[in-house]
Structure 1
Amino acid sequence: MSGLMSYLSQQYEYVGELLMSHIRLSILSVAVAIAIGIPLGILIADKVKAQKPVLGLANVVQAVPSLAILGFLVPYMGIGSNTAVFMVVLYSLLPILKNTCAGLANINPDVIEAARGIGMTRRQVLFKVKIPMALPVIMAGIRISSVTAVGLMTIAAYIGAGGLGTLVISGIQTDNSSMILAGAIPACLLALLMDFVMARVERAVTPIALRLSASQLTPEREQHERRERKITLAAVSVLLCGAVVMMVGQYFAEKPDIRIGSKEGCESVIIGNMMADLIEAKTDLKVERKMSLGGTMIAFDALDQGEIDLYPEYTGTVYTAVLGQPANPGMTKEETYDAVAKGLKEDYGIDTLHNFGFNNTYVLAVSAETAEKYNLKTVSDLINVNGQLRLGCSPEFAVREDGLPGIEATYGVKFKSVHNFSGTLMYTAITSGEVDVITAFSTDGLLQKYDLVLLEDDRNFFPPYFMLPIVNENTLAKYPEIAEVLSCLDDFINDETMQSMNYRVVELGEDRAAVGRQFLLDNGLVTEEELAK
């Protein structure tokens, strides 16, 4: 707990900014879901034939994993808050829609008949009888959707939409429990607060006669209830106005000149922030940072669709995962760079700058005990224990051609089972005995901490994975100074230096942006005055 309090005391402004972003996105999502769900529920409430397909479709959407929905939406809608809000609205619709239908369908027919008997029109029956009587049930659906929206919005960080999920995801990637709690606890409290507010709103909008019996409804009690209703609705109105002001303010805020992104890996975020610091310090350009955008294809799609302007990527990853080329054992650093630069330029209109100097290639690692037990020194040695060892790897490695499929085809290796983990969790899995082999990277910071044996890639299967900036050609044409500014990092960072920076984050708990900034300062690439401007 002391670690959490220390983190909050140092990063309270950043946490507060993410909290306000989370609130804004959650309120917007619930408002849109209400605007769609209640009218649609009213429309189909009396139409049994229409209810089944509409509610069935909503049920199907609810059953699809949220990350799968995000992965489907990103190629069509891009990254950012709009996609996140759309996803949360899809999941929030069902409770509102179903409860609206249920509330209207369960009204006593005699009450409706009495309303018609005194001459009420169909519209009057709907707004003066049906909706008021169904409000408790409708509001219960809205309460469920509100809490659901707050929880689901945490995964919006995967696509650069911000929110408290940024802290949770970053904390998982860097094995920083304080950062995880700094995002999870406010998100939990926000969900409880949302439920409390919606409960008060439910009480305020429900007709007094439906909540109190005739014996309880004294003039004094009725006056108290009306006063309480006014206070509740006024408070909620103020909150909504505040949310609207935040949304409008963000819309009219000064637009950035360039947007720099990164993948979710530790060093990707370090380098991404390093590039942003350099450009802000050495130019007059306004930079927006969209870090931790998930895996390769989310980040690359964002660049291809213009959601971001540049981000750091690996040559080997582009060659196999983006350009779709098969892994070519023995391919040199220069050959890989030339193929990547040509392919990105011709197929996507993306320029490739010079690499930073370090080669973060894949390596297979085992514990010292496992290596000694099975006499493992090279990847080829795994053939002798085919079907006996469990592999831990990232979901991306499990399906990429320069990953598990290629390893199996090139070496003839077979594993007993494959378990997907993210970031530092692979190291936790191998030290706890849940897996026997993991995929690591040559610049992983945790290689300094754990006593792991790296198996030699004796058939040179893995291509070079030199990190470099890839940038939209239109952005580079408009701001050519970007290339000149970033050139100070050309071949400037070796494997050991990058591994050391990663170690400071994942083991010592330092902030990724701060680590990158300190590297620039220590090497005289920027000054404090330039960063502060």
Structure 2
Amino acid sequence: MQQINHILQTQGGEIVQSIGQHIGLSLISLLIAALIAIPLAILLMPHQRAANVALQITSVLQTIPSLALLGILIPIVGIGTVPSIIALVIYAVMPIFQNTYSGLTTIDPDLEEAAEAFGLSRRKKLVRVELPLAMPMIISGIRIAMVMIIGTATLAALIGAGGLGTYILLGIETNNNALLIIGAVLSAALALLFGAAIDWLGKLSFKRAGIVLGVAVVLIGGVAGYRRIVQPQTTITIAGKLGGEPEILINMYKDLIEQDHPNIKVQTKPNFGATTFLFKALQSGSIDIYPEFTGTVLESLVKGQSSADHDPQVTYQRAAKALKSQYQMTYLKPMQYQNGYAIAVTPQFAKQYHLKKVSDLQRVATKVHAGFDPDFYQQSAGYPGLRKAYNFKFGTIKTMEPSIRYQAIAHKRINLVDGYTTDPELREYHLVVLKDDRHFFPPYQGAPLMTEKFATAHPEVQASLNKLAGKVTTSDMRQLNYLVTVKHEKAATVAREYLQQQGLLSKK
């Protein structure tokens, strides 16, 4: 509860903004889905076979995994709000269409005949008789769609659309239950709130319900239009992956660019998602810059480069050359720190056996009780390769999720873990990082990535970002991550204060 209160106090503005983004995404998607599904059901009322085909199509679309659907949409419509809304609409159409069609086609035939006997036209019979009688079923479909939309909208955070999913994903990524609870509870509260609003809407007459929906459309459209007119268009968009460290980096980029070039406006998109989403967004022009790691480039993004070299400079040169030839991208020089694999032990274990280097573990290998991430335990760049390079075999090894292994070593259930060199938990639990004295682990240095087209058009941006080349040590980044992830300080503030301390940013 203390963590939750601290986050609410320090990040209240950001949380309110995320709630607004979540509501906006949900309402727009629901309105569009309703405007598609309800008229379609009305149109297909007399055509049962065509209605069944439409229902089958919408059902099939709903079975597509949301992440796969977002991945399909990104190359077509880019990232952010648009693909998120399209995906949510696709998922919401089926329940609204199904309930509307069922409500309209299961009306008592006697009532239909009575309406015709009174001489009502097809349109008047629809408006005065059929739609009011079908309204409970339609409202039920809308309620189902809304709950589905609010739940699925959390994934919009993966492609930079924001919303409460940002806190859920960050909570999972950083093992921060407070963030996870905030995101989940607020999402559930929104579902209950909108469910109650839809129930209220169902009690209104058909005409009044239509007026309410019309006002909602006008308000949402007006707010969106106002923002476009009042808020200036940003010139440069810088995005970052999930987590505190990428957010720190993109704020460093922003501060340096805006200090050197006051005429340039920079928009940051933190917690944008995974590597693939960011890289596709950069290719499509939806974003202009994002920080990427040299080892990741060679192992995941470019072709024909199966692994990174152990020399950081060679790794960077290979990555930059491959990005330029294969994707016409410019990869600026990296910072000094590396966010690569690390082997860490408890301070008691290190002191007892005088451990400073990984090779020192040879003397006490049988006394090691390790906790490894499953991937690290299996892949050749992890424990199998490490064991061969250093010629040792640990006493006992347990595989566990990344966040759990740090808890396990903190409670002294194990005495050695794998991790990343800038993990804030290393600082939080005062763990001792052993030096990789045989240079087994490949280098992972962060550097700004952009398209050649953007780099050519903005040489001044390159000059600003190159001020970070060779700067920021591993211990510095670990401390910055600690302030953001553990102490919950704002990434923008942490980044700005660090740049000022290093003399890279003037104090205002």
Q: Give the TM-score, by structure 1 length.
A: 0.80
Query: What's 2:227 paired with?
Result: 250
Q: Is contact 1:331–1:463 with CA below 8 Å preserved after alignment?
A: yes
Q: 1:471 to 1:33 in 2, by over 3 A?
A: same
Please state whether the residue corresponding to 1:524 is helix, strand or coil.
coil
Residue correspondences, number: 492
Question: What's 1:82 paired with?
Answer: 82
Q: 1:477 aligns with which of 425, 449, 456?
A: 456
Question: Which amino acid is 2:134 matched to?
Answer: A
Q: Which moved more, 1:112-121 or 1:348-357?
A: 112-121
Inter-partner Cα distance in structure 1 for 2:77 and 2:6: 38
Note closer, same or farther for the CA distance 1:234–1:346 as it changes in structure 2 (3 Å cut).
same
How far apart, CA to CA, are the structure 2 residues paired with 1:133 and 1:433?
Answer: 66
Partner of 2:495: 516
Decide whether aligned partners of structure 1 residues 254 and 451 sit closer, same or farther in structure 2, where only a CA change above 3 A counts. Answer: closer
Tell me, yes or no, if the aligned pair for 2:381 and 2:441 is still in contact at 8 Å.
no
2:40 maps to 1:40: yes
Q: In the alignment, is the contact (CA less than 8 A) between 1:24 and 1:247 conserved in 2? A: no
SS for the counterpart of 1:492 is coil
**2:246 alignment counterpart:** 268
Per the alignment, residue 269 of structure 2 pairs with 290
Deviates more, 1:425-434 or 1:479-488: 425-434
Structure 1 residues 409, 122: closer, same or farther in 2, change over 3 A? farther
**Number of the residue aligned with 1:132:** 132
Matches within 5 A, 1:132-281: 132-205=132-205, 238-252=215-229, 253-281=231-259
Question: Per-residue deviation at 1:322?
Answer: 0.5
User: Deviation of residue 357 (structure 1)?
Assistant: 0.8
Alignment correspondent of 2:281: 302
Q: Give 2:443's aligned amino acid.
A: P
Is 1:392 the counterpart of 2:373? The answer is: yes
Which of 32-41 and 236-245 deviates more? 236-245
Q: Secondary structure at the match of 1:289?
A: strand
2:427 to 448, 453, 458: 448
Q: Is the 8 A contact 1:96 1:142 kept in 2?
A: yes
Counterpart of 1:260 in structure 2: which amino acid? I
Out of 444, 447, 461, the residue aligned to residue 465 of structure 1 is 444
CA distance in 1, matches of 2:39, 2:384: 56
| SS of 2:11 mapped into structure 1 | helix
Distance 2:12 2:212 in 1: 26
Cα deviation digits, residues 227-251 of structure 1 (max 9, x gap):
xx85x77666554433221222234
In the alignment, structure 2 segments of 5+ residues that lack a partner are none
Q: 2:176 & 2:300 partners in 1: Cα distance?
A: 29
SS in 2 for 1:204: coil
What SS does structure 1 have at the residue aligned with 2:61? helix
Contact 2:171 2:178 in 1 (8 A): yes
In the alignment, what sits opposite 1:499?
Answer: 478
Structure 1 residues 130-162: Cα deviation after superposition (integer angstroms, max 9, x where no partner): 222111101111122122222222221111111
Q: 1:110 to 1:348 in 2, by over 3 A?
A: same
Distance 1:47 1:90, change over 3 A: same
| Residue identity matched to 1:152 | T
Q: Give the C-alpha shift of residue 447 in structure 1.
A: 1.4
Q: CA deviation at 1:46?
A: 4.1
- Stretch of structure 1 that moved more, 342-351 or 232-241: 232-241
Read off the aligned partner of 2:239 and give its amino acid letter: G
Deviation at 1:432, TM superposition (A): 8.1
Decide whether the 8 Å contact of 2:358 with 2:436 is kept in 1.
no
1:482, distance to aligned residue in structure 2 (A) = 0.9
**In the alignment, what sits opposite 2:314?**
335
Deviation per CA, 1:205-260, whole angstroms, max 9, x where unpaired? 35xxxxxxxxxxxxxxxxxxxxxx85x77666554433221222234442111000
AA matched with 1:85: I
Cα pair distance change 1:234/1:112, threshold 3 Å: closer
Q: Deviations over 1:305-364 (max 9, x none)?
A: 111111111111111100134444754222211111111112212111111111111236
Equivalence map 1:66-105=2 (5 Å) = 66-105=66-105
Secondary structure at the aligned position of 2:373 is classed as strand
Conservation of the 8 A alpha-carbon contact between 1:328 and 1:461: no
- 1:416-465: CA deviations, max 9, x gaps? 997666xx466347768999986521121111234767688687554211
Say if 2:337 and 2:473, in contact at 8 Å, map to a contact too: yes
Aligned-pair CA distance for 1:29: 0.5
**Distance change in 2, residues 1:496/1:366 (3 Å):** closer
Query: Judging changes above 3 Å, is the alpha-carbon distance between structure 1 residues 327 and 459 closer, same or farther for their aligned structure 2 residues?
Result: farther
The range that moved more, 39-48 or 343-352, is 39-48
Question: Hey, what does 1:58 align to over in structure 2?
Answer: 58
| Worse-superposed segment, 139-148 or 302-311 | 139-148
Equivalent residues of 1:174, 1:505 under 8 A apart: no
Query: C-alpha offsets along residues 473-527 of structure 1, whole Å, 9 cap, x if unaligned?
Result: 2222222111211222121111111111112222222222221122112222223
Q: Which amino acid aligns with 1:9?
A: Q
The alignment's C-alpha RMSD in Å is: 3.7
- Provide the secondary structure at the position in 1 that maps to 2:82: helix
Q: Which residue of 2 aligns with 1:355?
A: 334
Q: Where in structure 1 are there 5+ consecutive unaligned residues?
A: 207-228
Counterparts in 2 of 1:369 and 1:377: CA distance versus 1, 3 Å:
farther
CA contact (8 A) 2:31 2:217 kept: no
- Once residues 31 and 334 of structure 1 are traced to their aligned partners in structure 2, the CA distance between those partners, rounded to angstroms, is 53
C-alpha distance in 1 between matches for 2:408 and 2:104: 52
How far apart in 2 are the matches of 1:435 and 1:51?
61
Displacement of 1:16 in angstroms is 2.4
Q: Is the 8 A contact 1:327 1:462 kept in 2?
A: no
Deviates more, 1:12-21 or 1:46-55: 46-55
1: CA distance, partners of 2:60 / 2:434: 45
Q: Which residue of 1 aligns with 2:108?
A: 108
CA deviation string 1:19-61 (max 9, x = no partner): 2222221111001110111122233444343344432333333
Task: Indicate if the aligned counterparts of 2:371 and 2:418 stay in contact, CA closer than 8 A.
Answer: no
Aligned to 1:225: none
CA distance in structure 2 between the partners assigned to 1:246 and 1:439 by the alignment: 48
Residue 53 to residue 404, structure 1, CA distance change in 2 (3 Å) = farther
What amino acid is aligned across from residue 404 of structure 1 in structure 2?
A: Q
1:345 corresponds to which residue?
A: 324
Q: What secondary structure does 2:449 align onto?
A: strand
The whole-number CA distance in structure 1 between the counterparts of 2:31 and 2:360 is 55
The answer to whether the Cα contact below 8 Å between 1:379 and 1:456 also exists between their aligned partners in 2 is: no
Q: 1:246 to 1:430 in 2, by over 3 A?
A: farther
